[in-house]
Amino acid sequence: MDTKIQQKIDKWLSGNYDEASKEVIRKMETENPDELADAFYKNLEFGTGGLRGIMGIGTNRMNKYTVGMATQGYANYLKQCFTGEISVAIAHDCRNNSRDFAEITANVFGANGIKVFLFESLRPTPELSFAIRHFGCKGGVVCTASHNPKEYNGYKAYWDDGAQMVSPHDKNVIVEVEKIESTDDVKWSGGESNITIIGKEVDELYLEMVKGLSVYPDVCKAQHDLKIVYTPIHGSGIMLVPQALEKFGFTNVHIVKEQSVPDGNFPTVIYPNPEEKETMSIGLKQAEELDADILLGTDPDADRVGVGVKNNKGEWILLNGNQTALLAFTYMIEARKAKGIAQPNDMVIKTIVTTNMIDLIAEKNNVACYNVLTGFKWISSLIKEKEGKENYIVGGEESFGLMIGDKVRDKDSVSAVALICEMAAYEKNKGRSLFDKLVDLYVEYGFFKENLVSITKKGMNGAAEIAKMMEEDRANPPQKFDGIAVEKLLDYELQVGKNLLDGSEWKIDLPKSNVLQFLLQDGSVISARPSGTEPKIKYYFSVNTPLASADEFDATEAELDAKIKRIEKELGV
């Protein structure tokens, strides 16, 4: 065993840790020393979004000690930043240990003299953001690992605007968390009187807010029997999504029974992620059997949404995140315009790896479209910057996230499900489907096709391998893909854009981020970035070509798919 790792293990065995944890360590020492080394070789990093990792014993695992120490550091920072009464809101999802972690978090905050609003039971992440803003809190925490496998849990930290923290707070709170070297530095109890349990009253306020996002309530009323299939994938969406659909007036909602009960073991899926066809397979089968109009699924903390529709052949398919965002942005822009409620200063926000087709649609409709780094904290940060000057209507990213309206400052699948059903009702009212609308947009603006490839690198060497892959692409950028020259290289880490054809350079006016983008002469875009929440490097591909008519959809899609496959092969991914 490495000396430094052994020192950490010895510290747990001799320190103020519970006997059950020590017994687990002793057993691992003899039965699984490699796993023990992985559990202690580093401290689970409190990154710019908080904690996320595999649950278990050790400094590199999610457990009551890592959660408590993180909370103590966060509490210390809040007390540095604010005077007078400080309050936070705390929520959690369905994952194993999430309730325990939420209560530990509440107890540590309370022991530090901070007022706590703790949800009575599991709730969607967006409601946590709403609660922070409603109660005027200075921060908040939701215990969730989003769409990760069942072995994971996490701890997402928020600031006083209801968004995850950005600079300088994200970096500063990390410094304070890293100062907590021992469990003895944590105030574990003694402030229980500072904790207030919240629940149904906040649910109702949140649902009324969601109801207010409807653009065409009359259309929902006319199509109230729209046949909707919904799956919460064993997660917290069951707490609010059916109620939100009821508020919108939909009366024909079918919940996927096998996935309706909250369960941190996610017994019907491997990955509780609505991006995955396997995860949505039970819902797709039910939608087909019922001849439904639309299928929707939300991840465990109900911030991501997956959408199933019938294609031009009557087959059930899942939209990718770019297609869902494209339809939602277009609806909010066009419907507001048609309804006469559009404002001259309306704006939409997307991320740099989300389809550029949205930029074209916004431009045609004279709506400002801003591009930010990946993550809803950057969307929220720009909303804050533009407040009082521009009117935010919708934001989103390709990873199945939407944020409609500015009352919540994180991605919100509860409002997204309701609005997507309204979109489907709007098209059905005209005798059409959402897929028909999508194809029409491709005919008008060009067929944009995207794909994402994620490569996982686990263990002690994983981060180093990912860093090496990025550095190789940075030092020796490809000159062409599929025979098409790379015209521009955008390096968001160095904050520099380069024209590889004429040698000119310019500054990228966004915060530093380890992302590379290759812009080809034909409008194709290839992006590479390490994940901020998983041991993965992600490659994003976007290609496009004109679509002459709806009749040519299948042939054109096959052509674009083949192009992406050729580029992926050249990259070796």
DSSP 24-64: HHHHHHHH-HHHHHHHHSSPPP-BTTEEEEEBSSSTTSBSH
Neighbours of 195 (CB within 10 A): 17
pLDDT at 535: 76
The arithmetic mean of pLDDT across residues 516-533, rounded, is 91
Q: Which two tokens stand for residue 475?
A: 């030092």
The arithmetic mean of pLDDT across residues 505-525, rounded, is 96
**Residue whose C-alpha is closest to residue 297's, from 289, 305, 288:** 305
Dihedral of CA 287/288/290/294: which sign?
positive
Q: Characterise 348 by phi-psi region: left (phi > 0), alpha (psi -120 to 50), beta (else).
A: beta
Helix, strand, or coil (residue 251): coil
**What is the rounded distance in angstroms from the CA atom of residue 494 to the CA atom of residue 367?**
30
pLDDT at 293: 98
**What is the rounded distance in angstroms from the CA atom of residue 348 to the CA atom of residue 336?**
13
**What is the rounded distance in angstroms from the CA atom of residue 517 to the CA atom of residue 1?**
41
Chain mean pLDDT for the chain:
96
In tens, the pLDDT along 80-134 reads 999 999 999 999 999 999 999 999 999 999 999 999 999 999 999 999 999 999 9
**Chain length of the chain:** 573
Cis amide bond preceding 344, omega within 30? no
Q: Which residues are catalytic?
A: 146
Neighbours of 461 (CB within 10 A): 10
pLDDT at 460: 65
**Residue whose C-alpha is closest to residue 272's, from 307, 235, 316, 240:** 235
**Residue whose C-alpha is closest to residue 70's, from 186, 190, 189, 195:** 186
In tens, the pLDDT along 445-487 reads 999 999 999 898 876 677 788 888 899 989 888 999 999 999 9
Amino acid (one-letter) located at 137: C
pLDDT at 463: 78
**What is the rounded distance in angstroms from the CA atom of residue 189 to the CA atom of residue 48?**
27
In tens, the pLDDT along 283-318 reads 999 999 999 999 999 999 999 999 999 999 999 999
Domains and CATH numbers, the chain: 1-41 (no CATH), 45-198 (3.40.120.10), 206-445 (3.40.120.10), 448-571 (3.30.310)
> What DSSP string runs through 268-287?
T-SS--TT-TTTTHHHHHHH
Percent of the chain at pLDDT exceeding 70: 99
Asked whether 484 and 521 are in contact (CB, 8 A), the reply is yes
Could you tell me whether strands 139-143 and 87-92 are parallel, antiparallel, or unpaired per DSSP bridges? parallel
Instruction: Give residues with Cβ within 8 angstroms of 400, minimum separation 6.
Output: 274, 275, 299, 304, 305, 306, 321, 324
Predicted confidence (pLDDT) at residue 381 exceeds the cutoff of 90: yes
Q: Tell me the pLDDT band of 490, cut-offs 50, 70 and 90.
A: very high
Predicted confidence (pLDDT) at residue 532 exceeds the cutoff of 80: no
Could you say which DSSP state residue 430 is in?
Answer: T
Predicted confidence (pLDDT) at residue 380 exceeds the cutoff of 80: yes
Question: First vs last Cα of the chain: how many Å apart?
Answer: 34
**What is the rounded distance in angstroms from the CA atom of residue 154 to the CA atom of residue 62?**
7
pLDDT at 1: 78
Q: Which two tokens stand for residue 127?
A: 């409601």
Dihedral of CA 310/311/316/318: which sign?
negative
Q: Which two tokens stand for residue 176?
A: 């304070």
Amino acid (one-letter) located at 129: S
Helix, strand, or coil (residue 569): helix
Q: Tell me the pLDDT band of 536, cut-offs 50, 70 and 90.
A: confident
User: Which residue spans within 84-232 are E strands per DSSP?
Assistant: 87-92, 115-119, 139-143, 152-158, 195-198, 228-231
**What is the rounded distance in angstroms from the CA atom of residue 530 to the CA atom of residue 345?**
35
In tens, the pLDDT along 406-435 reads 999 999 999 999 999 999 999 999 999 999
**What is the rounded distance in angstroms from the CA atom of residue 244 to the CA atom of residue 208?**
9
pLDDT at 467: 86
**What is the rounded distance in angstroms from the CA atom of residue 373 to the CA atom of residue 454?**
18
The arithmetic mean of pLDDT across residues 58-76, rounded, is 97
Predicted confidence (pLDDT) at residue 255 exceeds the cutoff of 90: yes
Residue 174 phi, psi (nearest 5): -60, -45
CA 89 to chain centre: 20
Instruction: Give residues with Cβ within 8 angstroms of 408, minimum separation 6.
Output: 126, 129, 130, 133, 162, 209, 415
Q: Which two tokens stand for residue 309?
A: 């529709």
Neighbours of 566 (CB within 10 A): 14
Q: Tell me the pLDDT band of 572, cut-offs 50, 70 and 90.
A: confident
Q: Which two tokens stand for residue 359?
A: 């930029």
Q: Tell me the pLDDT band of 165, cut-offs 50, 70 and 90.
A: very high
Predicted confidence (pLDDT) at residue 229 exceeds the cutoff of 70: yes
Q: Tell me the pLDDT band of 275, cut-offs 50, 70 and 90.
A: very high
Answer with the residue of higher pLDDT: 321 or 473: 321
Answer with the residue of higher pLDDT: 1 or 242: 242
The arithmetic mean of pLDDT across residues 252-271, rounded, is 97
**Residue whose C-alpha is closest to residue 402's, from 417, 385, 391:** 417
Could you say which DSSP state residue 408 is in?
Answer: S
Q: Characterise 453 by phi-psi region: left (phi > 0), alpha (psi -120 to 50), beta (else).
A: beta
